[in-house]
Chains A and B, each alone.
Chain A
Amino acid sequence: MNSRRQTLRSKSKEQGLPGSETGTPGLTGSLDEDIRNIRIALGGSPDLKVRKIQAGKEYPLQAAAVHISGLADATAVNEFVIGSLLSDPSGQQPDDTGSPEPFPAWLIQRVLELGSAEVTVEWNDLLLAVLSGDTAVLADGYLSAVICDTRGGEARSVEESSSQMVVRGPKDGFVESVATNISLIRRRIKSPKLRLEYTKIGTETQTHVAMLYMKEIAGEDLVDEARRRLNKISIDEVLESGFIEELIQDKTFTPFPTIYNSERPDVAAGNLLEGRVVIIVDGTPFVLILPAVFTQFFQSAEDYSQRFDIAILMRIVRYVSFIVLLLGPSVYIALTTYHYEMIPTTLLINLLSQRETVPFPAFVEALLMEGAFEILREAGVRMPRVIGQTVSVVGALILGSAVVEAGIITPIMVIVIALTGIASFAIPAYNMAIAGRIIRFAFLLLGAMFGFYGITLGLILLVAHMNSLRSFGIPYLSPFVPLSVKGQKDTILRLPLWLMGRGKTAAQLREEQPEYKRVTTGHEAGLAPLIRDNAAAGRSEEKVEFHEEE
């Protein structure tokens, strides 16, 4: 990590930071000149605040605190930087030669009442720190500056995530600040195995990107590969985790998402414990979780809060709705156009009498309705909330009854399309639902042109396509293809926790089995302490102690 930071630094030196194109050599040692250089570098921006101070009693020195208002936490700047500089608790001590101790060292060691402060001599680091919300303290006659961590300013507080709701489960969601997000995860995993690596991506935006993983649980290869891909990124701007997702995913042309994203810390923590890597990008509440396989997009955080049998039922409903989403309209068209012998006779008569008044073939009908539905949905998503009601009312009227009364669409088609539309909302992951919506149109075309022949071939192609996908080396359809019986514990099925041993290899599981029993069947009197005694393996002992310390 350290060497990586250095390479990143040298890279940013070569490319230059915003405003440094003037070729400013660095700190000059003259306070006035340095301050002028900073002002020039930032284009004389009015939100750059420079506060000049006379610091030190015995050896007074001209100093200046530089920060950008709004980015820095005003309280921290006022009280802990400027306040402590002015109050001067302990004077500068002369060293052996009689000259006063260096100003930056004095500042850091005796004066600043801040958790984090460091010395820098790099001009670009200084600028970046100020632009990130830190306060830089410069002193006359010194070629170095002290960077005080005063990052803050206005930010959204932790609220319930709006994109992934649960009935039962934790209600906190990630926010835009990377530090807060990490704290939300750390609060859930109080293990020293949780590792955090920082990097900055984006030559202009210099966005903080944090990578989290559990050492020993996450595969070494996976972590290396994720790190390698993150380092390879060369881009000007990173405004959302989607930018990173697009740049690090396996390069294939596919509608399917191969990296999971979540707004929920409990999901992120759960995935970390299953050996996945979590990437947090500053400025967005959506963290990336990788690698992601197909089944993951059908899991919800709530599956683990509910009883396992109920969770299995919910999951089956999700898979079924994905199939309905993909095949609903196309199967209906294929049935009515090519294979009407399969429809029970009474229903067929009913259908045909409905179709008699409708001028379009079923395919055009379906396309019209699907189009209308997509428009409504898109309008509904982007609408200001106040007028959102209008869209749903108009939409319901148009889709529900007017089209039928006008004789454009048959009522059965309305049912089919509505069912498909609802099914798309039953899939927990929005990006997977979108993939399904796109592929649905391909199936619509195949079903209309070739009936079940087209649909079957389409299914073969779809499965083959999904089989060719990989997410960080993991086959997308695993653990179904290649089939792994052990892997089935948490796919369509969600076995009870004591049977599951989440995401561990068989060896680890065997080793830690006593612990799992302890956790899950602790209510069986007498069992828990017995097993704890038996599991005198060093690791579990340590864990117990660790908890007690907490």
Chain B
Amino acid sequence: MGKVKIGLLQFFSITLLFELGTSLVVNLGMASGRDAWLSILIGCMAGLLMFWGYAYLYRKHPEMPFTAYARKLLGPVIGTPVALMYIILYMNLSGRGLRDGSTMLAMATMHNTPLFILSMLMILSSSYVLHKGTEVLTRTSLVFTMIVLMIGLFSMVLLMLSGSINLLQLLPVLGDGLWPVIDSVVRQNYMFPFGEMVVFTMLMPYLSDMRKGPWVIAAAMLASALLLSATIALNISVLGADIAERSPLPLMPTISKISISDFIQRVDIFVVMVLIIGVFFKMSVFFTAALIGISELFNLPYRRMLYPCSLIILFTSMLDARSFTEHLDEGARLLYTVYPVFMIVIPVILIIITAVRSYFSAPRPG
């Protein structure tokens, strides 16, 4: 492990793209109405707390991915099934991301192309990039972070120029009290997208700088939270809480409000591009985490399981639900029931074991 070292800037950009991923486009935290932007920020705080735990585990085991130290700490009998479950989780998350992406794409522009074809193209591209290695994925993310940020800036300026932003729509802040915000955070926002940072426990061994690394990733989480929050606030201030809440992809109608002298209009294709880029990187990060886990657990070369895995992910994405509604419903329930086990319970157990072990082993040499 850890032969390839990935620079901090690359880690920053891959974290940013991973977090923005699909969440930039979907109606995130809309359970809390016009205060959704607030629930994102609070969710991020919870996410940062969780990430602090992951970073602790990384600092204690800087050369190992999650699956390796899980086996080391829990012993092979319990550790191996746990590691295996994480690999399955990552593949499932990758498949779900793929389904999210291709369905949203089909809703947004590609109305007549079969879902399977869209997903296949995406997973093939992802396989190609991962075939070139994790380092290539992170480097590529650097370029596309720039592109996404440029698109964001561009759309922001255009929206301002076309005079569609009405900040009054955001008022009153906390009009319904704090409870809807807390509810939304608990149900969704601490997990999605910030709890998914658990996947970085697989990637962090590649960090080139052990001390600064976790800080950079945390900074990227914070930056992405601010961007997400700003985007949602933008959606609400342009569309109003009511429409934003109902729309499955609120960023699309927001951007389509842009109209400058009848020439620049309907630039929502940029949103689609952001969606594609985000989904691609989100899915690829889960995919590469699963591959790292497999290669570490079964001691296989990284590339050998690439194509079998891509097939599994493709079919997971196709078969996990009969319709998008079912898929979303399933996702909401998983978010509430299954994911906390992987993202909080098991890491917390590992943290406790590590802390106890280092507490008892530390004084011995001294």
**A interface with B by C-beta (< 8 Å):** 338-339, 341-342, 344-345, 450-454, 456-457, 460-461, 463-465, 467-468, 475, 477, 480-483
Contacts and interface: CB of A to CB of B under 8 A. Distances in A.
Given A344-B262, A456-B273, A482-B139, A464 B129 contact: yes
A15 B110 CA distance: 64
B157 interface: no
Interface of B: 7, 9-10, 105, 109-110, 113, 118, 121-122, 125, 128-129, 132-133, 136-137, 139-140, 142-144, 262-263, 265-267, 269, 272-273, 276-277, 280
B9 A482 contact: yes
A462 to B, nearest CB: 9
- Provide the main secondary structure of the chain B interface: helix
Q: Give the residue among A341, A345, A465, A468 with the most B Cβ atoms within 10 A.
A: A468
Nearest to B281: A460
Nearest to B130: A464
A88 B263 CA distance: 91
Given A450-B113, A461-B128, A464-B132, A481 B118 contact: no
A338 B128 contact: no
- Provide the main secondary structure of the chain A interface: helix
Given A453-B276, A457-B122, A483-B9, A344 B265 contact: yes
A460 B269 contact: no
A338 B143 CA distance: 26
Contact of B277 (A460, A468, A480): A460
A477 B136 CA distance: 11
Contacts of B142: 480-483
A341 B266 contact: yes
Contacts of B277: 456, 460
Nearest to B274: A456
Nearest to A338: B109
Contact of B280 (A454, A460, A465, A483): A460
A342 B125 contact: no
A436 B273 CA distance: 22
Contacts of A467: 132, 136, 139-140, 143
Contact of B276 (A341, A457, A463, A480): A457
A467 B277 CA distance: 17
B110 A453 contact: yes
A192 B121 CA distance: 57
A451 B109 contact: yes
A316 B183 CA distance: 51
Contacts of A341: 266
Contacts of B125: 457, 460-461
B280 A339 contact: no
B266 A342 contact: yes
Given A344-B262, A464-B137, A450 B121 contact: yes
A450 B132 contact: no
Contacts of B118: 450, 453
Contact of B110 (A338, A465, A475, A482): A338
Contact of A482 (B7, B263, B265): B7
18 contacts: A344-B263, A345-B262, A450-B110, A453-B110, A453-B272, A453-B276, A454-B121, A457-B122, A457-B125, A460-B144, A461-B129, A463-B140, A463-B144, A464-B140, A465-B132, A481-B139, A481-B142, A482-B10
A58 B176 CA distance: 122
Nearest to B105: A453
B109 A339 contact: yes
B124 to A, nearest CB: 9
Contacts of B136: 464, 467-468
Nearest to B101: A453
B178 to A, nearest CB: 40
Contacts of B139: 464, 467, 475, 477, 481-482
Contacts of A475: 139
B128 to A, nearest CB: 6
A452 B10 contact: no
A475 B4 CA distance: 14
A463 B267 CA distance: 24
Contacts of A483: 9, 142
B274 to A, nearest CB: 9
Given A456-B273, A482-B9, A482-B10, 20 more contacts: A339-B109, A339-B269, A342-B265, A344-B265, A450-B113, A450-B121, A451-B109, A452-B273, A453-B121, A456-B272, A456-B277, A457-B121, A460-B140, A460-B277, A464-B139, A464-B140, A467-B136, A467-B140, A481-B139, A481-B143
